[in-house]
Amino acid sequence: MKRRAALAGMLALPGLARAYPDRPVRLIIPYGAGNVTDICGRALADALSAEWPQRVVVENLAGAGGTLGVAAAARAAPDGHTLVLSAMAALTVSPHLQALPYDLLADLAPLSLVAVTRGALAVHPALAVRDLAELAAEARRRPLFYYSAGPGTLPHLNMELLNQAMGTRMEHVPYRTSAAGLADLLAGRVQLTMDAASVTLPAILDGRLQPLFWNGPHRNPRLPGVPTAAEALPGVELANPWLGLFAPKATPEPIRRTLVQAVAAVVAAPAFAARLGEALEPLGGGPAPLARQLAADHARFGALIARLGIRTD
């Protein structure tokens, strides 16, 4: 068994005086309980705890859009006993909106992508558009309004990428929460959103919202007639919010390797995907894909935020 092999490797790490982990591992979730990152983190913690000689204990440390929890991990002892599972926004968007108490490259070691959330471009049925061409025509005819859970969130930035690609000027209406924005969308007070599937999919499935595309590499099996974003708008790449696991930068390489192997075994297991449900899709791949994704999204959203002049104050 791959997991058991990973566990055996943890018990005798070369160059280390003690086996790892030799005490409970703290997994910081820099958001509140019930958030998709929390759901994923608890699934990851439980799976690792079932195989390791020590438990992985989740600590929700919310605040400042996830940056407080990431900062706590960056300052922790680099011994593998503190990790952080962060959503992409705290690492690729927040650095362009506020001064942060950590440096992504100097303070954090990427371990692996863990999961990704997908979403759909969803419109109120009263809008009566069937595809992006009809949406663009309607947006040029009259003002259309979309919601997000705040300036600089991924739904906001994705909608601005869509505006750019279609040559439209659909207007942003920021809310304090996705739930509040969804309520106004269902009531017809705003016309559309690109929020996460965990928010909009139930309303799409029961017909209260109309999907124009699914933001993923493949069509959603529950929405087989809905095209992907690439099918609907070839050549335009929209973001999918990913979750990545990080350790303090100076964590010894043998411990990093152990963590990478253990996480790879977890995310490949069908039980992990089942635990995540429809809200999340397992990823993986180790440090290099995470580092590449981090760098690409950091550059892309930095340029977009600068162009739009987004401020969060």
Asked whether the predicted pLDDT for residue 38 surpasses 50, the reply is yes
Asked whether the beta carbons of 228 and 246 are under 8 A apart, the reply is no
**2-117+241-308: which CATH number, 3.30.428.10, 3.60.21.10, 3.40.190.150, 3.30.1300.10?**
3.40.190.150
Q: Going by C-beta distance under 8 Å and a sequence separation of 6 or more, which residues neighbour residue 208?
A: 125, 186
* Intervals of CATH 3.40.190.10 along the chain: 119-232
User: Which burial class, exposed, middle or buried, applies to 187 when counting CB atoms under 10 A from its CB (0-12, 13-18, 19+)?
Assistant: exposed
pLDDT reported for residue 18: 63
Say which amino acid occupies 175: Y
Distance (Å, whole) CA 71 – CA 56: 19
Residue spans in the chain of domains classed CATH 3.40.190.150: 2-117+241-308
Q: Using one digit for the tens of pLDDT, what is the confidence trace for 4-21?
A: 444 444 444 444 446 899
Q: Residue 102: what pLDDT? A: 83
C-beta separation of 111 from 289 below 8 A: no
65-76 pLDDT, tens digit per residue, is 889 999 999 999
Domain 119-232 coded CATH 3.40.50.300: no
Angle at CA of residue 118, ends 233 and 280, nearest 5°: 160
**Phi and psi dihedrals of 135, rounded to 5?**
-65, -45
pTM check: above 0.85: yes
- What pLDDT, in 10s, does the model give residues 274-294? 999 887 999 999 999 999 999
Kindly state the greatest CA–CA separation across the chain: 70
Give me the pLDDT at residue 12, please: 46
